[in-house]
Each structure stands twice: as C-alpha cells, then as structure tokens.
Amino acid sequence: MKKIFKYITLSFFGISVISCSDETLLDLSPINNISLSDSYSSASLIESSVNGMYNAAAIGQYNSTNPNAGRGYIWGAAFVQQGDNRGEDVVNTATFYQLTYTATYDPTTANNVYYWIDGYRLINRANLVIEGVTTAAEAGIITQAVADDYIGQAKFLRAITHFELLNFFARPYNFSAGASHPGVPYREVGIDTQAEIDSEIVLGRNTVAEVYEKVLQDLDDAESLITNTSLTKASANAAIAFKTRVYLHMRDWDGVIAEGNKLTGEYTLEDSPNGPFNDSYGNSESIFSLTQAATMNPGVNAALASQYNRRRLVAISPIIWRDPSWLADDLRREDNSTETEVGTGMVFTAGGAKFTLKYKDGVNYTDASPVIRYAEVLLNMAEAQARRAAADLGASLSLLNQVRNRSLADPATQAYVAGDFANAGELVGAILKERRIEFLMEGRRWSDIHRLQGDDLQPINGIPQKVANGTPAAELYTLGTPYDGPYGVPAVPYADFKFVWPIPQVEINANPTLADQQNPGW
C-alpha cells in the first residue's frame, strides 16, 4: 500500500517534468519586433519601411536609447534650431543651444555630434530602402513603378541630408579651386551586415565637388522617378526646388534659374506671410515639409513649437529686429499676443523680448517642420538673376518684390523700385536681407553665412558677433536705429577652425579612415 502511494506520487512528479520540453521553452521569437529579414516581404511592409525612413528624418534618435524618442535631428526640428543658432539673427536665452550659439562646441558636444549621427542614420535607412525595394520589385512583390517612386524618395532624402551635413562639417564650395577640399563621406550602400561595414569603413571623405555631383545626381534621379505629390513626402517638385538651393551654393546661377523656372505655376505664394504657418499642411507655398503628429513629434525638448514658442528658448535678435530694411509696419512683425494669451500673429513678446510665432501649436507640437518653400525658390532665383553673367536686375527685382510685397503695409509706397539699388551688389544685399527677414527662425541663416564667405558682392567674414546669451532686455528691441551693441558673443573669423563643426570624436575613435581626416584645428 505504502509503496503504491510512493509510486503514484513519483509518477505524478515525473509527468510534470516531461511535460516541459526544451524546445517550447527556448524557441522564442520576438513579439515586439518584425525581423529585419522580413521587412520588405510584402507591399504593406515595404510601405511601412519607407515611412520608417521618414521617421528617421522627422524624429531621429539623439542620445536616447529609445529609437523613437529623438529630438528632431535632422529634418524634424534640429536643422532649424542649429541653423538659426549658428547665426546672429536669434538670441539663445537658456543653456539649450548655448554651445552652438556661442561657438563653444567641440567634437563631443551633443548638438554637432547628433547632427552627424542622426544624419547618417537617416542616410542608411534611405540606402536600405533603395536596396530592399529594388529586391522586392525583382521578386515581384511590388511593381517597378511603385518601386521607382520609393527609390526616388529615398534618393531625395539621401541627397539633401548629405548636402546639409556638408554645410556644417565642411568649408563652402568656393573654399578651394574645383571644390577639391574634403567634404563628407557619401554613403550609397545600405549597411546591415558585417561585410558591408568592412567595405564601407574604408571610404573616407569625398571632396566637396564629389558630394555636390552626387547630390545633384540623386536629385535628378528623384525628379525623374518620384510620382508622389504630397507635401510631407518627397515629390519631384521638391527635388527641383532643392536643386535651386544646391546650385545657389555652387554659385551655378544659371542652374538655379533653370530649375526654378520648372516650378513656375506649380506653387503660388500665400497672400499673407503667415499663410504657410497658419496652415502648415495645406497651403499653396510649402514644397517639402515633414509631418509632426500630436503622437509622434520631436517632443518637449525639441519640437519647434515647444522650443521657440512654448518654452521660448530662442528669441529673435535685436540685430535683425532693428534692421532698417525690416519696416516697422511689416506684417511679419504682427504681434497680437498678450502677456497671458498667445495670439495669432507672427511674433509675440515675453519679458520684453521678441519671439517667433511661426510655430503655432505649443500644446501638441503638430506644426509641420518646413524644409523648403516657394518663397525660397523665388529668392534663390532673384539672387541668381542679379549675379549671373548676363545679370537681369529687372527680373531679379521683380522676384524679390514678389516675396516682399505681400508683407508690406502699403506695397504701393514701400515696394522696392529699380532706383533703390545702384548696382547688382546692392540688389543682392537687399535680397540677402530679405532672406534673413522672410526665413527668420526657419533655420536658413547658417546656410547663407556659410556660402557667402569670401563672396564677390556681399562677403561675410566668418560668423558675425552676436547679442549675449540670455533673454535680451526690452529696450534692446526699440525700433528706430540699427542695433550696434552691446554684443556678448564675439565673431568667429572665417579662418578660425571653429567656423566648421568638428567630425564627432566618437566617429574619429571608431573609424580609422576618418581618424586622419578631422577638420584642421580640432
């Protein structure tokens, strides 16, 4: 009897042992993640992979361990913030962008480091899309037409991102004859295997000329391949518009005009300068912007409406605010906010300082991030018309006025006329000033400072001096005289090594090829 019990008990335990097999315990696969090898296995996953590429553009990762908790590096917010803060037309009020603003960055400071890292993160996603889509089309998962559209979009993002990095990490196009000085590595292989790492790691910095050539080639391909026409994804027109920017930097004035002309009739300026911002997704002027949704945006630490509006981390500088070319009654100064209520204008005042109101949604941060709009194409063309060998100052002036007049209180009396400018240089000066006013707080200032070094007509030497870091006092904004100090941030001469950002130390440490190709002085 006792023994029977014993054996029953034992066999009961025994069953519980056998019922657990190693396979069911150990053969587990991820529930949260689709494996990389499956990510181009259906039409809908391919579409999702393409969206994942835009995710990198709109959100980035910054220093987070969460792949979707970035700070808008590179196209979601950072290119606006970094582009503005490298220039003199804004004042950094807190610590946030101080290192960029005061040019006290080094190869380890986050702003420049993550510009590089998130830029190349996006580029690799674009390259993986190109390869994944190509393979899927060959396998018949999607049609070649659909594949081409995706490939074009990926090439567009690859091109503009390399171009953006070039403007921060390399000297401008005209720095050396034939732009033979170092640019940035142009990556064209999607890297997801050790073998690809090994083969790509040996490629060093392309020359600036090479990068320009590849950027233009990619943009040409994008123009011909893309069928998408929506604003928040790359379109053929976006590629064309971007080419006007690239040719402008290359000083290929005819190229600017040829590309710009292709867009005539495709876009029109909004009646109000506030138009592109009041309806950032549905206006007639924006050419390429990135979507920011309430549930997916660069967050309180980076979204444009958070940083520039709600948290007021960057003010408009008295330098540009008091510039006499910016008329006192210009609509771009419209300020109907009160101390407690944010208004509907383009500027608001807090603590006496002036802040932009281009980014409206300070609660949900849903404003699109503007990358390029038609006003820029027009001003690019205006400048090219004035600078080209066969300068057409009339056409140039007309293009300038097209942009400027809509902001004037009384265009009939205030509009520029030919007699206002003695020569092409003066006209170009007015166009450049207009760019600073029109694109204030849209991140365009650095690009202009960069390309105008040693310019023949309107040269800039290095980074101009700036108003001291901190919230400027109210009286500094009193209109009537141009701002002439005090300054708190000294100028950085063009010759200074700080003019360009250093390649991040982490890259230098991990990349034996680039280790010898750091920008001089760093």
Partner 1 sequence: MRTKTKVLLALLMAFVVHLSSAQEKMISGTVTDGSGLPLPGVNVVIKGTTQGTQTDFDGNYNLQAEVGQTLVFTYLGQKETQATVGAQNIINIQMEEDAQALEEVVVVGYGVQKRKEITGAIASVSGGDIQGLVTPSFESQLAGRAAGVQITTNNGILGEAPRIRIRGLGSISSGTYPLVVVDGVPIITGDIGGYASTNALNSINPNDIESFEILKDGAATAIYGSRAANGVILITTKKGKKGSTQVSYNVVTGFASPIKTFDLLNTAQFLETANEKRTNRGQAPWAIGNDYDTDWQSAVLNSNALQMDHNLSVNGGTDRTKYFMSLGFTDQDGVAVSNNMKRHSIRTNLEHDVFDWLTVGGNLAITRTELNGLNTGGNSLSGNIFNATRQLPNIPIYDPSNPTGFNLSADGSVVGQWDNTDPVGDNISNIGYVLVNNKFQSISNNTLASAFGEVKLLEGLTYRFQASANNTITNGFLYYSPIHGDGRGSNGRLQNNNQDYLRWNTQNIINYNTSIADAHNIGVTAVMEFQKDKFKSFFGTGTDLLDEFYNKNLVTGAYGTQTSGGSVTENGISSYVGRLSYNFKQRYFLQGSIRRDGISKLSEATRWNNFTGYSAGWNIANEEFFSGLNPAISLFKLRGSYSEVGNTDIGDYPYLGLTSASQYGTLNGIAFTQFGNDLLIWETSKKTDYGVDLGFMSDKLTISFDYYKNDIDGLILDVPVPQSLGVPDSRIKKNIGNMVNEGLEFAVNYTPFNTANFSWNVSANLTLDKNKITNLPEGQDIIGGTSTNTNIAPNLIIREGESINSIYGHRYWGVNPANGNPVYYKADGSLVQGNLDTQTYFVFNPSNPGDLSEASSLSAADDKFILGNSLPTYYGSVINRFTYKGFDFSFMFRYSGGNEVFNATRRDLVTQNFNNNSTEILGRWQSASNPGDGITPRLYASSNTFTNLTGHATTRFLEKGDFISLDNITLGYKLPSLVTDKLNVDMVRFFIQGQNLLTITDYKGLNPEMESSGVDINGTPRSKVLSIGLNVNL
- Give the C-alpha separation, 117 to 510, whole Å: 13
Interface size with partner 1, residues (CB under 8 A) = 113
Q: Is 351 in the site for partner 1 (CB under 8 A)?
A: yes
Selection from 412, 416, 414 nearest residue 400 by Cα = 416
Interaction residues for partner 1, span 232-251 (CB under 8 A): 232
Strand bridging mode 286-290 / 369-373: antiparallel
Binding-site string for partner 1 from residue 57 to residue 86, where x marks contact by CB under 8 A and - marks none: -xx-x-x-x-xx------------------
Least CB distance to partner 1 at residue 92 (A): 9
The separation between CA 484 and the C-alpha centre of its own chain, rounded to angstroms, equals 31
Nearer to partner 1, 214 or 332 (CB): 214
- Give, in degrees to the nearest 5, the angle at Cα 178 between 173 and 181: 60
Q: How far is the CB of 429 from partner 1 (least distance, A)?
A: 29
Shortest Cβ 35–partner 1 spacing (Å): 6
Give kind and range of the element (H or E) at residue 369. strand 369-373
Residue 413 near partner 1 by CB under 8 A = no
> Is residue 298 exposed (0-12), middle (13-18) or buried (19+ Cβ within 10 Å)?
buried
Per-residue x/- mask for partner 1, residues 130 to 149, rule CB under 8 A?
Answer: --------------------
Closest separation in Å from C-beta 304 to partner 1: 13
Q: Which residue, 176 or 364, is less far from partner 1 as judged by CB?
A: 364
C-beta of 394 vs 485, nearer to partner 1: 485
Does residue number 514 form part of the binding site for partner 1 (CB under 8 A)?
A: yes
Q: What is each CA distance from 316 to 3, 275, 421, 477, in whole angstroms?
A: 91, 20, 28, 9
Q: Are 82 and 111 in contact (CB under 8 A)?
A: yes
Nearest-5° angle of CA 61, CA 281, CA 154? 50
Residue 384 C-beta: closest distance to partner 1, Å = 32
Tell me whether residue 16 or residue 481 sits nearer to partner 1 (CB atom).
Answer: 16
The answer to whether residue 4 forms part of the interface with partner 1 (CB under 8 A) is no
Q: Which of 11, 42, 43, 104 binds partner 1 (CB under 8 A)?
A: 104
Cβ nearer to partner 1, comparing 137 with 467: 467
Nearer to partner 1, 194 or 413 (CB): 194
Give the angle subtended at the CA of 298 by the CAs of 356 and 465, to the nearest 5°: 45
Residue 274 touches partner 1, criterion: CB under 8 A: no
Query: Which of 187, 243, 245, 388 touches partner 1 by CB under 8 A?
Result: 187
Q: Contact at 8 Å (CB) between 492 and 102?
A: no
The answer to whether 43 contacts partner 1 (rule: CB under 8 A) is no
Q: Residue 98 interacts with partner 1 (CB under 8 A)? A: yes
Cα–Cα distance, 209 to 410 (Å, whole number): 45
Which CA distances in Å does 309 have to 91, 304, 471? 14, 7, 14
Among 139, 145, 197, 328, indicate the residue that binds partner 1 (CB under 8 A): 197
Among 94, 209, 331, 415, which residue interacts with partner 1 (rule: CB under 8 A)? Answer: 94
- The encoded tokens of residue 376 equal 């820029």
Q: Identify the residue among 139, 328, 363, 418 touching partner 1 (CB under 8 A).
A: 363
If one asks whether residue 32 binds partner 1 (CB under 8 A), the answer comes out as yes
Residue 508 is a binding residue for partner 1 (CB under 8 A): yes
Residues within window 460-499 making contact with partner 1, judged by CB under 8 A: 468-471, 473, 486, 488-490
Q: What separation in angstroms does the CA of 359 have from each of 15, 30, 267, 297, 369?
A: 67, 40, 22, 13, 9
Handedness of CA 189, 150, 439, 76 (dihedral sign): negative
Instruction: Please give the helix or strand (H or E) that residue 514 lies within, else none.
Output: helix 512-515
As measured in angstroms, the least distance from the Cβ of 249 to partner 1 is 21
Of the residues 195, 265, 339, 413, which one makes contact with partner 1 according to CB under 8 A: 339
Residue located via tokens 């876009």: 267
In one-letter notation, the amino acid at residue 296 is: M
Taking CB under 8 A as the binding criterion, the range among 140-148, 311-319, 373-381, 420-428 that sits at the site for partner 1 is 311-319
If the CB atoms of residues 96 and 253 are measured against partner 1, the closer one turns out to be: 96
